[in-house]
Structures are given as structure tokens and as C-alpha cells.
Amino acid sequence: MIFDEQDLVKTLKKIDCFEAIGYAILAEGATAAAATTAGMAASSLAMTVVGTGLTAMQQAQQGQTANAFAQRNALIQNRNATIAQQNAEFNAKLHERDARRRRSSQVAGLQGSGVEIYEGTNLIAMAEQEFTDDMNAQLIRRGGTIESQNLQMQAGITSAQGTASQKAGYTAAGASLLTGAGQVGMQATKFKQQGVFS
């Protein structure tokens, strides 16, 4: 602290501008003491109003900023979801191609050896192999879908959080305004009671 309370009071008492403000407010014939007090009171009211406004405005802007970043993050998460979906599809397709090659190779090898593969157990084995490959490909796709959906869901939450932060900012601003108004009103009432402006 540069000033303690007593220093502040001493300093303020020396400020002649308070007296000038008081003379401007009060009726003609007011004493210097009354004018100083009235000027001080008017300044205090002005400071409280300005401080309240500043606080409220900053709180509102803070909420807006938080919201803006949350929306941005939600967009990123949605994009990541799309990427996860695309990655799973890619991997599934890659798996399907590899499985198909492998089965084709096996068919070609067997057929080269004269094994009839489209009959009997070979055929069943072949069909089982195809089914397994397909299932794996689908599992890959499912993993991507789940990831994508999770990310989309997270994006929604993030967006909602941003909106909530904005609202919270406005609420805080409103609360600050109300508090400030109450404070100003209370001060004005005190001043009136003490006859500062009379």
C-alpha cells in the first residue's frame, strides 16, 4: 500500500477541487467547510458510479471472452470428431483390403495346389475368414464412430460451458451494477440525512 487510510484522508482534505465542486453544487452563501464536504460527497458518488460501471463492463466482457473461446474449442472438438471418423474409416478400409488380399492369396495358393476351395470345408473356412475380416473392419469403424461421437459430445459441452460463462459474466455485471447502485443510493441517503447537499 502506498497510502494508508489516514494518508488518504490527509491528502483528500488538501484537495481544493472538492471545495470548487461543492460551491458549484451548493446554493450561494455556503461555507467553505460545507462546500468541501459536498464536493467530497459528490466525488465519492461519481467514483462509486464509475467503479461500478467499470466492474460490470469488465465482468460482462470476461463472460463474452470465455464464451468465445469455448465456442472455438467446441469447433475444434467437432473437427477432431470428423478426423476420428475419417481415421477409423481409413483404417477399416485398409484392413478390408489387407484381408481381401490375404484371402485372395490363400485362394490362389490353394487353387494352385488343386484344392477346391469353393466346396466343402474350404468354402466354410473361406466364408468364416471373410466374416472375421469384415467384423474387424466394422470394429475399426465403430471405434472411430465412438471417438467421433465422444468428441462431438464434448464440443457440445464446451459450447454450453462458453454460453454459461457469458451468462455468468452478464450476471456478475448485473450484480455489480445492483451492488453499485445500492452503494450509491446508500451514500446519497447518508449525504441527504447529514444535509451534505443542503
Give the shortest CB-153-to-other proteins separation in angstroms. 14
C-alpha cell at 127: 466364408
Taking the C-alpha atoms of residue 2 and residue 121, their distance in angstroms, rounded to an integer, is 93
Of the candidates 47, 24, 22, the residue with the CA atom closest to the CA atom of residue 195: 22
Question: Is residue 177 near other proteins by the rule CB under 8 A?
Answer: no
Site for other proteins in 85-144 (CB under 8 A): 86-88, 90-91, 94-95, 97-98, 101, 143-144
Question: Is residue 152 near other proteins by the rule CB under 8 A?
Answer: no
Site for other proteins in 25-84 (CB under 8 A): 29, 33-34, 36-38, 40-41, 43-59, 61-62, 65-66, 68-70, 72-73, 76-77, 79-80, 83-84
Which residue, 111 or 194, is less far from other proteins as judged by CB?
A: 194
- What does the buried/exposed string (b/e) look like for 130-151 if buried means 16 or more CB atoms within 10 Å of the residue's CB? eeebeebbeebbeebbebbeeb
Taking the C-alpha atoms of residue 160 and residue 165, their distance in angstroms, rounded to an integer, is 9
Taking the C-alpha atoms of residue 100 and residue 126, their distance in angstroms, rounded to an integer, is 11
CB burial class (10 A; 0-12, 13-18, 19+) of residue 36? buried
| 4, 5, 28, 119: residue in contact with other proteins (rule CB under 8 A) | 5
Give the shortest CB-87-to-other proteins separation in angstroms. 5
Give the shortest CB-52-to-other proteins separation in angstroms. 5
